[in-house]
Structure 1
Amino acid sequence: MTLQFSLTNTAATDVDSPCIVVGVYEQAVLGSAAEAVDRATGGLIRQQLESGDISGKAGSTSVLFAPPGIAARRVLVVGLGAQKSFDGARFQKINIEAARALGRLPLSAAVSYLTDVDVPGRDAAWRVRVAALASDFAAYRYTATFKPRDKPKPAELATLAFAAGDEAQAALEQATAIAEGVRFARELANLPPNICNPAYIAAQAQAFADLHDKVSCQVLDETQMAELGFGSLLAVARGSANKPRLIALEYKGGEPGDKPYAFVGKGVTFDSGGISLKPGPGMEDMKFDMGGAAGVMGAFVAAVKMGLKRNLVCVVPSVENMPGGDSYRPSDVLTSLSGLTIEVLNTDAEGRLILCDALTWTAKTYQPHTIVDAATLTGACVVALGKHASGLMSKHDDLAAELLAAGEETLDRAWRLPLWDDYQAQLESGFADVANIGGKTAGAITAGCFLSRFTDGQRWAHLDIAGTAWEDGRKGMATGRPVALLAQWLLSQSEK
């Protein structure tokens, strides 16, 4: 169920709601809304603090039922942690935990006063946007491949209001659009590979285009790509019964003559590694190897829903990488769409092989203002940055700064890695223009260096989201990153 958001100016003591949400710091320091509720209820919150039933620990939650003196039927008290170290990341966390706690209660509506909490350096609009995105993230449920349940479900949270004035209305509308893009990306990435194959992604793109007047969709099949010379992409797809697709969404939100911004996303719907077969344990996570495709498509959805005054294209090369009698092999030499030849040293370094042709085609077809690609590209990036930051590479300092700033604004953060020519030597080949891997060291960077050879003359950046696109564990879900980062970057560009 998608959450519906709104704003309210009604005081916490007066709002008629099944539940209100207020915050309490450690050391029994109450937020402004919690203080007002405490006074109206004769010190109920402070009594709970003194008894130890409420701790104030960051993310902890407690429910007070039918408190006297206020109109709400419940009060959800959320711990804010230490006041002196409270920051934006903590604010995001407490809103996620609050939404999870609300989801466990049998109610359909609530009002959150966490947006009244002071976050150093952040205004009300920022607080509302982050709170809405965090709440929607927590409210997401994957149900697509479960057996439908016959018994009636209890009430589920459907509407959530935030305490803020009209100055935050635009931010709330932006958050609603971005949340829709995040959900689109998460749902697509969470689907199993027997459903979400290249043809399915193409169908989802076409279905979205059919619903929006300013959006069009073009899909190239393997025959059309072969005629154009997609030698690198098609080699990766050869071992699979599921045929590849190149998907191009176009949004005409700007002036007719304006160059479009372009997203390119890696869409490997399942990555077995090919002939360079991956180890069995953990291979099930390789359904998420189309996280880059899901991310750029989600950002495209967000941009359309926000009605941004910019032209935008979203290109997704989509394949399945499987071992088979016709699979490409280590030592094969491929001829890419650009004409550069590539020596294959490892068939599990396939993402860059489909991206290089897609980047070449995007540049030639659209002459874009800027290209940003997103890909679950390298395990090396996970080793370097873990699950917290996406790896960012670009030779354009201004573009890198814009993307980093967008990540900080949305807390969908990235960290810049070097893209120096010093690393290019690792990609030298004795049999082709370039090798597809650069050896054991600097794997994320050499992958970026490989892509840079196909973006010469373009204003381009690369996001390696291998560590951030999904959560760990057997029940780990897709995160929808970097939808928020890319959507915020486009929003910033449209405001120039």
Structure 2
Amino acid sequence: MAFANRSVPPVGRAAPYTRRRFVVKVAVETADPTTLQADCLVGFVHSDGFVLEGIPAGLDSALGGVLGDLEARGEISGKLHETTIISTLGRLPARWLLLIGAGKRAEATVGRMAKLYGQAARHADGAGWRSLVAPLVPVAGTSVERRLRAAAAASVVGPLRLDLYKSALKEERPKPRLEEVTFCVSDGADLSALREAASLGEGEGNAVNMARELVARPANEVTPTAMAEKARLVAEAGGMEFRCLGRAEMEAKGMGCLLGVARGSVQEPKLFAIRYGRFEDAPVLGIVGKGITFDSGGITLKPGEGMQEMKADMAGAAAVIGAMQAIAALKPHVNVVGVGACAENLPDANAMKPGDVVRAMNGKTVECVNTDAEGRLVLADALCYAQQDEGATHLVDVATLTGACVVALGQDTAGAMGGPQEWVDRVVAAMRDEGEKVWQLPLEDEHGEEMKSDIADMKNAGGRQAGAITGAWFIKQFVNDGVPWVHLDVAGPATIEKDVPYMCKGGTGFGVRGLARLAEMLADG
């Protein structure tokens, strides 16, 4: 079956959001930021020297010496994420001065500074400020375009609130929302190029927010069908091709692993594919996401405490949709197919039982000793599909796969496993370029010893040791020889459990920008 054209009918009815979508616009000017009209002017203070980079030295005098006084009294230290708010009392066009601690100057990176811009935007939105002006701070060894793009994306991501279902606020006069962030660059800059960079960053920020909202929404709305419908809408808006497989098409292709996971739910499983590019002279990057829209564990039932968080087990597929949205705007000279394997993992009379044997699309058989190790099963068929039907020459899969990876690396860092090493290095570099923390874990043939089955080609789970790695070993069995592949276990960084200065708690959109960056890098050769 060929890809459907862009007029393909909807794959199902997705529930609408309950409130108007919030949007922040980004602008760029070659101007002294202290001369622009705004609700707030932002300055960044390093801990190893009180210098407001990008802001003229006369600011303290204009404010009557208040900055020097606060510094002398130790009330402004430059500690990372520290905030100080000063009323300008009409002495500047901006009503407020927001100072944010940037830490040591030598430790500044594009990723760190982006988070600080996100913090400024989030603070401004919470304060009811409609407009924000900020200088674009230099970071050694980086281009202005790259810094601006990252700062713009973070400024869009920071203010997003995920209280999507709260009733209208009871305040008689609710605070305004942030509407615009203006970045000031030096005279002589190529304003046209910088505005294009800012626009791309704004688009990436919106793509991240789309993924975050998908993760935040409940499983009674974000079903496999709703996930596929969101993918279709993104494909249509970006001028990309779209295809969706339902149960019948999966049965015809022999996708026994994905179908086995879905057996316990009345919700039909969906496998969607978004295709960007038909370049004959370019590789095909396959990005594959786990889309378990609710994971109870199946018959191997999870504990009840905290189970509501398992609505976020589709964060990998959400990141794929977001990455494809960003890639459509970036327009790299590379072919990309984004695949999401979506299902619910629930227990009922039809559900897969421990000990059942299923057959994957590539013919390999799996003894399912643990129905709560379902993510690797849906990825198995999705990876086979990406290679066999879409001709993927390079692969990355993204999944909230194991708690073991969180134990090993913590909440903020994803685990990367795969080969060859050159491809692993490239994937890790792309993620880190966008401020997404990734650490490589080993993956050896010996890790497969735990996965041997007496009756099938392999089991879907091993013992307690090296749980994140044995999960990756299983997935590797569905990657064709010679195809570069990396597995990203994002169980930690896909969500955060509490608010941080630059983002509210909930889904993070981890992987959206890193995967888009990877497509750019592959296009560059």
Decide: shared fold, TM above 0.5.
yes
Cα distance 1:25–1:459, how it changes in 2: closer, same or farther (>3 A)? closer
> Could you give the per-residue CA deviations for residues 179-236 of structure 1, whole angstroms, max 9, x where no partner exists?
12211111111110000010111111122233333x1221111122112211111111
Amino acid at match of 2:516: A
Among residues 223, 228, 237, which one is paired with 2:262 in the alignment?
237
Higher mean C-alpha displacement, 384-393 vs 8-17: 8-17
Amino acid at match of 2:256: G
Distance 1:320 1:230 in 2: 15
Residue 18 of structure 1: SS of its match in structure 2?
Answer: strand
Among residues 24, 28, 33, which one is paired with 1:7 in the alignment?
28
Cα distance 1:445–1:50, how it changes in 2: closer, same or farther (>3 A)? same
> What is the CA-CA distance between 1:257 and the residue it aligns to?
6.1
Match of 1:479 in 2: 508
Would the aligned equivalents of 1:349 and 1:436 in 2 still touch at CA under 8 Å? yes
Match of 1:196 in 2: 222
Distance 1:259 1:128 in 2: 29
Distance 1:284 1:26 in 2: 41
> What is the CA-CA distance between 1:281 and the residue it aligns to?
1.2
Match of 2:522 in 1: 493
Amino acid at match of 2:175: P
Residue 136 of structure 1: SS of its match in structure 2?
Answer: helix
> Could you give the per-residue CA deviations for residues 68-118 of structure 1, whole angstroms, max 9, x where no partner exists?
5433222112222344544445424422322222112222111112x22x4
Match of 1:146 in 2: 166
Would the aligned equivalents of 2:417 and 2:443 in 1 still touch at CA under 8 Å? yes
Amino acid at match of 2:349: G
Cα distance 1:210–1:95, how it changes in 2: closer, same or farther (>3 A)? closer
Match of 2:88 in 1: 66
Cα distance 1:362–1:16, how it changes in 2: closer, same or farther (>3 A)? same
Match of 1:284 in 2: 308
Amino acid at match of 1:493: L
Q: Which structure's relative contact order is higher, taking Cα pairs within 8 Å and 6+ residues apart?
A: 2
Higher mean C-alpha displacement, 166-175 vs 396-405: 166-175
Match of 1:205 in 2: 231
Cα distance 1:70–1:140, how it changes in 2: closer, same or farther (>3 A)? same
Distance 1:85 1:340 in 2: 49
Would the aligned equivalents of 2:63 and 2:88 in 1 still touch at CA under 8 Å? no
Distance 1:495 1:174 in 2: 18
Distance 1:160 1:465 in 2: 30
Would the aligned equivalents of 2:32 and 2:56 in 1 still touch at CA under 8 Å? no
Q: Does 1:226 align with 2:248?
A: no
Among residues 67, 70, 95, which one is paired with 1:45 in the alignment?
67
Match of 1:176 in 2: 202
Higher mean C-alpha displacement, 39-48 vs 293-302: 39-48
Distance 2:498 2:40 in 1: 32
Match of 1:340 in 2: 364
Match of 1:108 in 2: 130
Match of 1:134 in 2: 154
Distance 2:173 2:304 in 1: 39
Would the aligned equivalents of 1:22 and 1:34 in 2 still touch at CA under 8 Å? no
> What is the CA-CA distance between 1:133 and the residue it aligns to?
2.4
Amino acid at match of 1:296: V
> What is the CA-CA distance between 1:143 and the residue it aligns to?
4.1
Cα distance 1:444–1:183, how it changes in 2: closer, same or farther (>3 A)? same
Would the aligned equivalents of 1:59 and 1:98 in 2 still touch at CA under 8 Å? no
Cα distance 1:251–1:31, how it changes in 2: closer, same or farther (>3 A)? same
Would the aligned equivalents of 2:34 and 2:41 in 1 still touch at CA under 8 Å? no
> What is the CA-CA distance between 1:45 and the residue it aligns to?
1.4
Match of 2:378 in 1: 354
Residue 275 of structure 2: SS of its match in structure 1?
Answer: strand
Amino acid at match of 1:4: K
Distance 2:498 2:456 in 1: 40
> What is the CA-CA distance between 1:38 and the residue it aligns to?
1.4
Would the aligned equivalents of 1:259 and 1:367 in 2 still touch at CA under 8 Å? no
Q: Does 1:80 align with 2:80?
A: no
Amino acid at match of 2:181: L
Higher mean C-alpha displacement, 288-297 vs 141-150: 141-150
Amino acid at match of 1:236: V
Distance 1:83 1:259 in 2: 40
Amino acid at match of 1:186: R
Cα distance 1:14–1:449, how it changes in 2: closer, same or farther (>3 A)? same
> What is the CA-CA distance between 1:387 and the residue it aligns to?
1.5
Q: Give the TM-score taking structure 2 as reference length.
A: 0.89
Unaligned runs of 5+ in 1: none
Distance 2:174 2:329 in 1: 30
Would the aligned equivalents of 1:359 and 1:455 in 2 still touch at CA under 8 Å? yes
Distance 2:519 2:113 in 1: 24
> What is the CA-CA distance between 1:138 and the residue it aligns to?
1.3
Distance 1:90 1:177 in 2: 20
Distance 2:275 2:49 in 1: 53
Amino acid at match of 2:252: E
Match of 2:6 in 1: none
Higher mean C-alpha displacement, 430-439 vs 31-40: 31-40
Match of 2:18 in 1: none
Amino acid at match of 1:47: D
Q: Does 1:302 align with 2:326?
A: yes
Higher mean C-alpha displacement, 218-227 vs 377-386: 218-227
How do 1:26-41 and structure 2 match up within 5 A? 26=47, 29-32=50-53, 33=55, 35-41=57-63
Amino acid at match of 2:23: T
> Could you give the per-residue CA deviations for residues 295-347 of structure 1, whole angstroms, max 9, x where no partner exists?
11110110012222322111111000001111111111111111111011100
Higher mean C-alpha displacement, 255-264 vs 182-191: 255-264
Q: Does 1:396 align with 2:416?
A: no
Would the aligned equivalents of 1:177 and 1:306 in 2 still touch at CA under 8 Å? no
> What is the CA-CA distance between 1:390 and the residue it aligns to?
0.8
Would the aligned equivalents of 1:388 and 1:467 in 2 still touch at CA under 8 Å? yes
Aligned CA RMSD, in angstroms, stands at 2.1
Match of 2:488 in 1: 463
> What is the CA-CA distance between 1:27 and the residue it aligns to?
6.2
Distance 2:237 2:34 in 1: 43
> What is the CA-CA distance between 1:44 and the residue it aligns to?
2.5
